[in-house]
Structure 1
């Protein structure tokens, strides 16, 4: 009998309500509600690395925020590490390592090391295990020189590395990444993510990551989910999904100069 999937999404929907702008109402304008996810269903197994691709606005960030417990779905269900993301949110979040785009969860006046020690305590990492884990992750993410600097002095790319360390510190069963290495130079981003994904999968974590770098997706993902307007447009190996992905990206209107 196959074990239960680490991520299980069934008919998931998310609708953002119509915004209330007094100035728009005064001008007779009505902003429509926006449906970000439309009946999305898929699974991710332990040790599997799955990539989320799709144009901007396809629903990738919304999906990852629901799975990490930061957003509530409008309909459908999602389970992470065998826990419902709505009814069992605290337990679910303890099993997840999330590094999301524009993450602002670090305390700016604490050093990177102090931030990591704080989150290690929140995740109940044994105190004697924290220093070796920080040392190991700092080597993998090339951050040893940053550990004793205050976060407010770090560049955007340096903060992204610390956020990744925080996501991995408690060895989560599920790892969620949302374009978190986009602020790194291409070479560093590829080195960091390739090593992280392979290491996480090797210890049995389920990995779901969003990326616009199709070459990187082809190199590291076991499977690809293509989202288009909140729907699952295609799923499978990269070679199987690529033709549909190219047509979806080609159909996105380009902004005029």
Structure 2
């Protein structure tokens, strides 16, 4: 199984154009923020001390969530390629088995998602450190790494469910384009959630990536928020709700509540991603018995 994971990683990173394209959604979010959105969003909060750094942290949290979604989908491209070229059938003739093969695909895509998030994080932190003097602590980096891993696993599981219905590479290419352009809106990474119509806000609230973005932002922004608002909790809560730092479900969710939702989503999505392969494996064993 380790050899199959290594194969998936090599096939992904040997295609530079595919790597760059998988980051396109995150890069679009990053560039749009720098060129168009930052000044307009900051204008609403210009009276806040340090609003510049707060918004940088807000963007980083959302962009990391986008990166996990788009790169894990690209990492799962090999599932469709193997299925279309009948390579999957050849692999199933070995002792690897249907479930182990599926797990190797999921593990490979998760590692890709984790690595690309680390790369994107380094790019953004480097830029904002030079431009705005933004710094992060070791504790923040440690927590973000854990969230990156969680995001990679969750995004992989959700994308794997979708991939089960994709039979051809041409269809996957179209799907990747849609996901790459739409991910920024689905996690509230381009426009503050509080400024969107009610329907769009509800759509973000049922998208697991929005909760990952919220957790990222809480890790990055909590200390700065406390210093900025200096005990004015009503104003702070309004800011957190408007920018999606915390998700509002009849009240702002705590970090633990948000994490619980993400873990439940991960378990459910993983079961749904693996279940069809379990069923197919049993059917195959019955036919060959």
Shorter-chain TM-score: what band? under 0.3
TM-score (norm 1): 0.26
TM-score (norm 2): 0.24
Q: Which has the higher helix share?
A: 2
Q: Which has the higher strand share?
A: 1
User: Larger radius of gyration, structure 1 or 2?
Assistant: 2
